[in-house]
Structure 1
Amino acid sequence: MLLLDKTLLRLSKGLWGWIVAIVIVRFAQLIGVTLFAEVIGTFLGNLASPHPDTTKLAAAASAAAAASLLTLVTRLAQGELQYRTTASARVHLREVIFDKVLALDVGGIEKIGPVSAITSSADAVEQMQTYYSLYLPSLIFSVIAPVYLFFHLAPMSLSIAVLLLVVSVVLLPLNNLFRHQIEALRRRYWVSVEDMTAYFLDSVRGLTSIKLFDRDADRSQTLQSKARRLSADINEFMRINFSSHFVNEALMYLAITIALVIVCFDLAAARINVGSGLTILLLAYGYFASIRQLMDATHDALTAVSAATKVEDIFAVDTSRAYNPQAPTDPEAYDGIRLEHVSFSYPESKNRMALNNVSLRVPRGKTIALVGLSGCGKSTVAALLARFIDPTAGNLYIDGQNYLSLTPEELRYHVAMVPQTVSLFTGSIRENLQIAAPNANDEKLYEALDEAALGDWVRSLPDKLDTAVGDAGSRLSGGQRQKMGIARVLLSQAKYLIFDESTSSVDEASEQEIWHCIRKLSRTRTLVIISHRLSTIRWADCIYVLEHGCVTARGTHEELMQHEGLYQQLVAEQAKLEGAAA
């Protein structure tokens, strides 16, 4: 029952005002219930006496009405406060989790996976919010209420007051016997949730392929098995929760039964009157109301703790980045980007260097191309330039400044990238472009679209810039999406532009248009191009050839073709393939 989770408690910042307010209102409600029990007990005891005092009837009725009104008002206030706490928790949790997910950068997202990011910021929040509106207030109140009632019962029957207090104190630690089972189950439960969610998302994304190969029945059976596994985990949670309820209820009713026996003996021995006896029984029955409310909130707390486990995995990812404003400047004062003896290895493959002692230069106003076989380190260089990752060894400089003297955000004012697949967001063309320049007017937007060979098409649309692009840009072709990415990069006004296989997923006509756009940009911008089609980068000012994470050759196309090596081999093989295709 004591489900105090460090992640949930750490995320409770800013919510404690609401939690305390709920506890105060519930305590006021307890006062009303206690007052009502005492009034009714005294009233019934008075009626049961041989000589009832009828003059006290009006006072008893007024007191009972006042107690009932107090209870009603506090119940309404409790409901309102719980609603507001839930709403505040939902907003607060999503802000904190989403901020962390955004801070993960590309490398961090790959570590946890996009499904974990989605389930943590969506499903997990829905499960965690009740921890603050129901469980924590109930836990605090379950400690306060028995102590308060003890002092009300003690003057009438000390033995019963002690009995009920001892049982209430024993109930909380007793339920921790179930905690070890909960610890084992919560991770298994969340793994089942993610497994089913990921499989379902994959099925939706690949629905066309599934239908084409008539595999929907197999896919459905697998999904059902995953759903059954999740259902089994939920049922196991329910079983533990029921066991906890059974133990609690058995002890509570045993304590109430013993209290009833003690009251009967005290009445027979004339140690208490009928009014006191009835009041004791009424308070004894309501003594464990706070424990019951805590039990009811425990199931929600179980799912909240399970969800928090996955959120903790996200928080555990280190998002700190090296930053030293006093980092030494480039001794060469190079006007452009310079990599000096840079090495890098990914955490999951530390024994293999993705880059090994790489040195290269990107002069201002020039176009540099990176070529090589798949896995040679081209995209790793691009990720370093955009500072999605930091080098394991070596130094990077931009216009004489050390990369470590700039935050990633500051660096990206100077360096922008058009990736292999441009990400568009549900909304309009205008909204997607203004991600790079929130204050850009229509003139600036059309100027960027014209440079990306997309302006005439947008002007021909009925809604022009306000045209919806669909879910993740689904209403646009692959070429249009890539051109949108180029226009967005142009709006950023970055001096250095990286094109990482930006035409690999478009048709031939769109590819020609995009390369024409890139050639025009090379006259005014500094470009770093990664392309599998070597015929399109022959005009680059310098081509770097990478093999197994090392630079093995560099020069212009003509210079590289004069020497036998990987570049000459790749050009020859591609020429054969293009000739055969033609």
Structure 2
Amino acid sequence: MRTRVKSSEQQFLFDLQQQQRKRFQMVKWLGVLIAFSIVIQALGLAKVFAELVLEGSFPLNAALLAGAAFLFKTVLQYVREQICATASRTIRFSLRKRVVEHLTHLGPNRLQIDEDAGLSTRVYEQIDALDDYFSRYVPQVFLVLFIPLTILIAVIPVSWIAFFIFALTAPLVVFFMVMVGHKAANANRKQFTVLSLLSNQFMDLNQGMAELKRLGQTDRARERLSLTASEYQKTTMGVLRLAFLSTGTLELFSSVAIAMVALYLGLGLLEQLPWQVGIAPVSLFAAFYLLLLAPEFYLPLRQLGSDYHAKQKAEAAATDLQEIFAAEPSDFMATSSSKLPDKKGNGALIEFENVSWSTSGRVRLADLSASISQGERVWLRGASGAGKSSLMSILLGFDQKFDGRLLIKGQLLSSSMLDEWRRRLAWLPQTPEWIQGTIRQNLELGLGKCHDADLRNALIKAQCWDFVGGLRFGWDTPIHEAGTGLSGGQMQRLSIARALLSQADVWLLDEPCSGLDSDTAEQVLNTLDEVSFGKTVLIISHDTHPVSWADQKWLMKEDGVYVEA
């Protein structure tokens, strides 16, 4: 016996579906009741129509039976749709949380998958693309098996010919559904790729708009974005074209099949069938019964044909989502967290022992052997490409495939202690990340609700209170991703205030004065001097003029790191 092998996308979707197994099981039982109510409704209506035509009487009992079956079916379908919508929403919420957490653990390595705008498209657009799959396609797969099967069984005692018409035409509907659906899958994958490209371009152009204006290249940028938008429009229309083609094809075959049943019943009632002239193969009651069941037989098939497009769309989205989970954070070279001897006996908080890092034959970080004690402030300078950012990535725990050892308070940094280590860190990148929201929301990002007194105290220490208090809405003033309306120095001071609110005792700063004029840079460094006293600080910079208040000064070159006197 041959078993059907699921593709990786199908297995991914199946695993997600299993999270809501109980709800989908309930949906199946509701489908069983819906199938029975369809047959009972057809029986009641057929009885009403037959007696009205033949005897001129109105059978109240049959009418009440049909009405009750219709009402029961309507309620069941509503409950079924609500359960499916809840299951889909729960699955997507859980999946989005997993994706965001995984991207968080990847850190800067997430850019190996796609740019941030493209990743945000996957987190929002492509996860939401799974909605129709779980809310419509998955429950419809069971209905498309059970309802036609129930109707076929109900038709057998009435007419073998109608049974064979149903049984022979149903596979044709499925065949054309699958044939058109495969083309839709490729179209959806192309659409998602173009959408990701469009998102990345839009973010890049938005961030670099000031530079584009300075260079006079805004027209070329607009043309480039317009071309990608036109391509996305074409792919979207291609997907819609296939969807309409699929729906039209299924409607055609369903209509032809229903017409065949109607033609057979009509000629039979007129006693004009070529092989049965003068004899009516079915009664008027049976004819009405079969005619009422015919649309209900093909309805689940037609609906599945429309929803099959959702399946192909979901599989296309699953391909990109799997790529995110396939990107694993770098493993630690050593996983032992046992106590190690402190060779220098200096109680160092951070200790590097012959740390070096090479990838693809390129040296990213040369030999480093040095230590930083609790409360020490270190200033690290070096040219571009010397490995400063690589050192920061190692300290943040995002890249651990390096040679040598990194010790934290005498313990080898391992995956088991990484979360605890990161809680001690305040990371101030060269270009701080901001979200569209108020200043307060940006300061509290990742920290939770802060008391007004703590917020005010952090702003005062970071020398932000004067300009924040001067804004119309104070710390409730909205800012954009690029910090529109605030200067570079003000944004850096707000980053310092955010670090203070985090209560981290280890600060890692990457080019805190990058892009600032000399006076503003000096003011920022003076602020750092005041607020970072007593904390363990590592600042990396291209500047040749040392930070006067640093306890240690390191010089990073291509052949290693030197601790200056």
On the 8 A contact 2:38/2:70 being kept in 1, the answer is: yes
State the 1:292 CA deviation: 1.0
Instruction: State how many pairs are aligned.
Output: 548
CA distance in 1, matches of 2:334, 2:156: 66
On the 8 A contact 2:384/2:542 being kept in 1, the answer is: no
Name the aligned partner's letter for residue 386 of structure 1: L
State the 1:178 CA deviation: 4.0
Q: Deviations over 1:488-521 (max 9, x none)?
A: 2233333322221111122333211221133335
CA distance in 1, matches of 2:77, 2:374: 69
Residues 68 and 512 of structure 1: CA distance in aligned 2, closer, same or farther (over 3 Å): same
Tell me what 2:203 maps to: 201
SS in 2 for 1:11: helix
SS in 1 for 2:363: coil
Tell me what 1:509 maps to: 519
Indicate whether 1:168 and 2:180 are aligned.
no
Tell me what 2:137 maps to: 135
Name stretches of at least 5 consecutive residues in structure 2 with no aligned partner.
Answer: 1-5, 272-278
Using the size of structure 1 for normalisation, the TM-score is: 0.84
Aligned equivalent of 1:344, options 353, 357, 372: 357
Q: Deviations over 1:349-393 (max 9, x none)?
A: x22121234322223333322222101101111121122221322
CA distance in 1, matches of 2:399, 2:280: 82
Tell me what 1:117 maps to: 119
Aligned equivalent of 2:296, options 278, 286, 304: 286
Residues 37 and 535 of structure 1: CA distance in aligned 2, closer, same or farther (over 3 Å): same
Tell me what 2:3 maps to: none
On the 8 A contact 1:323/1:405 being kept in 2, the answer is: no
Tell me what 1:95 maps to: 97
Q: Over the residues paired in the alignment, what is the CA RMSD in angstroms?
A: 3.2
Give the stretch that moved more between structures: 11-20 or 119-128.
Answer: 11-20
Tell me what 1:568 maps to: none
CA distance in 2, matches of 1:429, 1:225: 36
Give the stretch that moved more between structures: 260-269 or 482-491.
Answer: 260-269
Name the aligned partner's letter for residue 294 of structure 1: L
Residues 448 and 285 of structure 1: CA distance in aligned 2, closer, same or farther (over 3 Å): closer
Give the stretch that moved more between structures: 230-239 or 253-262.
Answer: 253-262
SS in 2 for 1:149: helix
Tell me what 1:577 maps to: none
State the 1:113 CA deviation: 1.6
Name the aligned partner's letter for residue 308 of structure 1: A
Tell me what 1:319 maps to: 329
Name the aligned partner's letter for residue 338 of structure 1: E
SS in 2 for 1:497: strand
Name the aligned partner's letter for residue 47 of structure 2: T
Tell me what 2:369 maps to: 359
Aligned equivalent of 1:10, options 9, 12, 15: 15
State the 1:409 CA deviation: 1.9
CA distance in 2, matches of 1:169, 1:176: 11
Tell me what 1:374 maps to: 384
Aligned equivalent of 2:108, options 85, 106, 109: 106
On the 8 A contact 2:440/2:475 being kept in 1, the answer is: yes
CA distance in 2, matches of 1:323, 1:446: 43
On the 8 A contact 1:370/1:546 being kept in 2, the answer is: yes
Aligned equivalent of 1:151, options 132, 140, 153: 153
SS in 2 for 1:165: helix
On the 8 A contact 2:425/2:508 being kept in 1, the answer is: yes
Indicate whether 1:335 and 2:348 are aligned.
yes
State the 1:479 CA deviation: 0.9
CA distance in 1, matches of 2:333, 2:416: 7
Tell me what 1:563 maps to: none
SS in 2 for 1:122: helix
SS in 1 for 2:436: coil
Q: Deviations over 1:114-139 (max 9, x none)?
A: 02221012222332212111121222
SS in 1 for 2:513: coil
CA distance in 1, matches of 2:527, 2:67: 81
On the 8 A contact 2:185/2:312 being kept in 1, the answer is: no
Residues 78 and 552 of structure 1: CA distance in aligned 2, closer, same or farther (over 3 Å): closer
Give matches, 1:42-57, under 5 Å: 42-49=47-54, 52=55, 54=57, 57=59
Indicate whether 1:390 and 2:400 are aligned.
yes
Residues 545 and 68 of structure 1: CA distance in aligned 2, closer, same or farther (over 3 Å): same
On the 8 A contact 1:366/1:522 being kept in 2, the answer is: no
Aligned equivalent of 1:296, options 306, 310, 313: 306
On the 8 A contact 2:377/2:551 being kept in 1, the answer is: yes
On the 8 A contact 2:185/2:313 being kept in 1, the answer is: no
CA distance in 2, matches of 1:472, 1:8: 37
SS in 1 for 2:362: coil
Quick one: percent identity of the two aligned structures?
A: 24
Name stretches of at least 5 consecutive residues in structure 1 with no aligned partner.
Answer: 557-582
On the 8 A contact 1:426/1:469 being kept in 2, the answer is: yes
Tell me what 2:223 maps to: 221
Using the size of structure 2 for normalisation, the TM-score is: 0.86
